Amino acid sequence: MLTPKVLILRTAGTNCDVETDAAFQLAGAETALAHIQNLISGKIDLADYQILAIPGGFSYGDDISAGILLAVEMKHKLTDALNKFVADDKLILGICNGFQVLVRTGLLPGVSSSKNGVPEMTQQATLAMNTSAKFECRWVDLATQESPCVFTKGINAEIYLPVAHAEGRFTAPSDVLEKLESNNQIVFRYVQSEYPHNPNGSDADIAGVCDTTGRIFGLMPHPERFLMKWNHPRWTRLVGTSGSSSEAGDGLAIFKNAVNYVKSHGK
**Domain coordinates of the chain in residue numbers?**
5-265
Check if the beta carbon of residue 10 is closer than 8 Å to that of residue 36: yes
Name the band, by pLDDT with cuts 50, 70 and 90, for residue 239: very low
Check if the beta carbon of residue 132 is closer than 8 Å to that of residue 165: no
SS3 78: coil
Provide mean pLDDT across the span 93-118: 86
185: Cβ contacts below 8 Å, ≥ 6 apart = 109, 111, 147, 148, 179, 209, 210, 211, 212
SS3 188: strand
pLDDT in tens, 132-172: 999 999 999 999 999 999 999 999 999 999 999 999 999 99
Name the band, by pLDDT with cuts 50, 70 and 90, for residue 117: low
Q: Is residue 167 annotated as part of the catalytic site, yes or no?
A: no
Residue 131: in which H helix or E strand, if any?
Answer: none
Q: Is 105 exposed, middle or buried (0-12, 13-18, 19+ CB in 10 A)?
A: buried
Q: Out of 136, 165, 224, 232, pick the active-site residue.
A: 224
Cα dihedral across residues 73, 23, 103, 131: positive or negative: negative
Q: Regarding the domain delimited by 5-265, which CATH topology (the fold level of the hierarchy) does it fall under?
A: Rossmann fold (3.40.50)
197: Cβ contacts below 8 Å, ≥ 6 apart = 140, 141, 190, 191
Tell me the average pLDDT of the chain.
93
Instruction: Give the rounded percent of residues in the chain with a pLDDT score beyond 90.
Output: 85
pLDDT in tens, 11-67: 999 999 999 999 999 999 999 999 999 999 999 999 999 999 999 999 999 988 899
Q: Is residue 96 annotated as part of the catalytic site, yes or no?
A: yes
**Beta partners for residue 10, in sequence order:** 35
Q: Is residue 224 annotated as part of the catalytic site, yes or no?
A: yes
Top pLDDT among 267 and 157 is at: 157
pLDDT > 90? residue 114: no
Q: Out of 16, 19, 222, 232, pick the active-site residue.
A: 222
CA separation, residue 88 to residues 81, 84, 148, 187 (Å): 11, 6, 17, 22
**Beta partners for residue 53, in sequence order:** 8, 93
Question: How big is the chain by its Cα radius of gyration, in Å?
Answer: 17
Q: How many other C-beta atoms can be found within 10 angstroms of the C-beta atom of residue 264?
A: 10
Q: Out of 96, 149, 165, 232, pick the active-site residue.
A: 96
Q: What distance in Å separates the CA atoms of residue 208 and residue 142, rounded to the nearest whole number?
A: 10
pTM: 0.94
Q: In this structure, what are the phi and psi dihedrals at residue 71, rounded to the nearest 5 degrees?
A: -60, -40
